[in-house]
Structure 1
Amino acid sequence: MSIFSDNIRLLRGKQGKTQREIAEHLQITRSRYISYENGRSRPPIDVLITMSKFFHVSIDLLLSVDITKYPLEDMLKLPDNRIVLPIVVDQAGNESIEIVSQKASMGYLAGYSDPGYIEGLQRISFPFLKNGKFRAFPADGDSMPPFKDGSFIIGKYVESISELKEEKTYVFVTSNDGITYKRFKGKKEYSITVAADNSFYDPYDIPLEDILEIWQYASGIFPEDF
């Protein structure tokens, strides 16, 4: 057995489907699907993609995370077939906000879609932040005014590039620059233009393919001497 085989068996049971029904949806034989559940073989990438879309669980979670340890009903589903775990609330029912500390930010690019990494982050609750998924990121460097080192920027998850508003500020998580706080200036065909509020830095373009996450500025946590 493997994590993958345990996961798909669990997901099939949650949906109340038979092995034959899943096999028909995947357009493979029942015996071939059974070999996946029994851990005797692994599906090729095209079958994995179809399976991921069918179960609404990303491929990396299917292959590497034991989702039997997490209640499926508590998973927060995001676009692009991603899942953030877990949804935690305080005693008053307010959803918790994960804090990506300076130390934790070093591994965020690798862990942003890993439920184990997300679950290990510290949390706070702000009752006035509602109707969305929020996360706190560290401000670092002189390109993030008015935030100074030691501050945290709380962002609200943005589901689509089309939701970006010009002159609003966002935390952009990209494969090249990591976590950065910038003002959105406009969208091009294959990129967006952003700028730091520090006029010393010139505006620049971020290729759309490099963008991993976008969080719109919602609030901040500031040092005592801010």
Structure 2
Amino acid sequence: MFFADNLKFLRTRKEKSQTAMAEELELKRTSLIGYEKGVQPTFGVVMKLADYFKVSIDALLRYDLSKLGKFELSQIEQGFDVDITGKKLRLLVTTTDTNGEENIEMIRHQAQAGYTQGYNDPEYIESLPKFQLPFLSRNKTYRCFQIKGDSMPPLSDGSWVTASFIQDWNTIKNGTPCVVITKEDGIVFKLVYNQIKENQEIMLVSSNRSYAPYNVSIDDLAEVWKFETYNAFEV
């Protein structure tokens, strides 16, 4: 919980002294000092502070607001709960074999429209073809996607790539090849450049420079999967 650090950060951002802010909130200065040092406030005080800073209680307690960019902070202060990790956007559905090991589900490019609608539907995920690759780490969740088009050489149209699920989009390093599932454009395989901290977007770049880069808002993202291996097989 980041309450104490966020309280001090937001007070400083407002350029308020502890005395001035305590008076405005009708709190004792000693109480405010205690909260900034980790003393747990009552829920009523938390509500009062959230209202004062114009942020949600969830943001005040759960996010390290000092690490957010100016845009994210302004969005939160306007009442929007910006999810910069992707953790709230979907429940990841998986399947397992008879030994309890996670399968790798396969998504043909003909079935990609269905995946963008059914990626969080257990019955749909269960219906997908599946396999396992024993040399991959058991600490990750994988999917195998068939790539369409010629925008990402050396991979050609119809190639299959196995990718691992990215839980926290902030960890994506610039230039990482990823399968990106968007709510509007479906499934694409691109090099990802992380602009979440700056403007709540990622930039998608093709290795075939004939295709222009473009940006996607995190509001349009459903899932992001990091490229792990190329699969040379026919299905």
Using the size of structure 1 for normalisation, the TM-score is: 0.59
Quote how far apart the aligned CAs of 1:183 are.
0.6
CA separation in 2, counterparts of 1:213 and 1:86?
A: 14
- Amino acid paired to 1:118: I
* Alignment of 1:199 onto 2:209: yes
* Alignment of 1:89 onto 2:97: yes
Quote how far apart the aligned CAs of 1:81 are.
7.1
Within a 5 Å distance, the mapping from 1:4-83 to structure 2 comes to 79-80=87-88, 82-83=90-91
Q: Secondary structure at the match of 1:80?
A: coil
CA separation in 2, counterparts of 1:100 and 1:182?
A: 17
CA separation in 1, counterparts of 2:224 and 2:113?
A: 17
Q: Which has the higher contact order (CA 8 A, sep 6+)?
A: 2
Q: 2:181–2:224: 8 Å Cα contact kept in structure 1?
A: yes
Q: Secondary structure at the match of 2:143?
A: strand
Larger Rg: 2
* Alignment of 1:190 onto 2:189: no
Unaligned runs of 5+ in 2: 1-85
Q: 2:149–2:158: 8 Å Cα contact kept in structure 1?
A: no
Most deviating of 181-190 and 152-161: 181-190
- CA offsets 1:111-138 (integer angstroms, 9 cap, x no match): 0111110000000100111211100111
Within the candidate set 111, 118, 143, 1:111 is matched to: 118
Structure 1's 90 and 142: CA in aligned 2 closer, same or farther, altered over 3 A? farther
CA separation in 2, counterparts of 1:190 and 1:86?
A: 28
Using the size of structure 2 for normalisation, the TM-score is: 0.57
Quote how far apart the aligned CAs of 1:90 are.
5.7
Unaligned runs of 5+ in 1: 1-77
Report the RMSD for the aligned CA atoms in angstroms. Answer: 2.0
CA separation in 2, counterparts of 1:181 and 1:90?
A: 31
Structure 1's 184 and 85: CA in aligned 2 closer, same or farther, altered over 3 A? closer
CA separation in 2, counterparts of 1:148 and 1:177?
A: 20
Q: Secondary structure at the match of 1:108?
A: helix
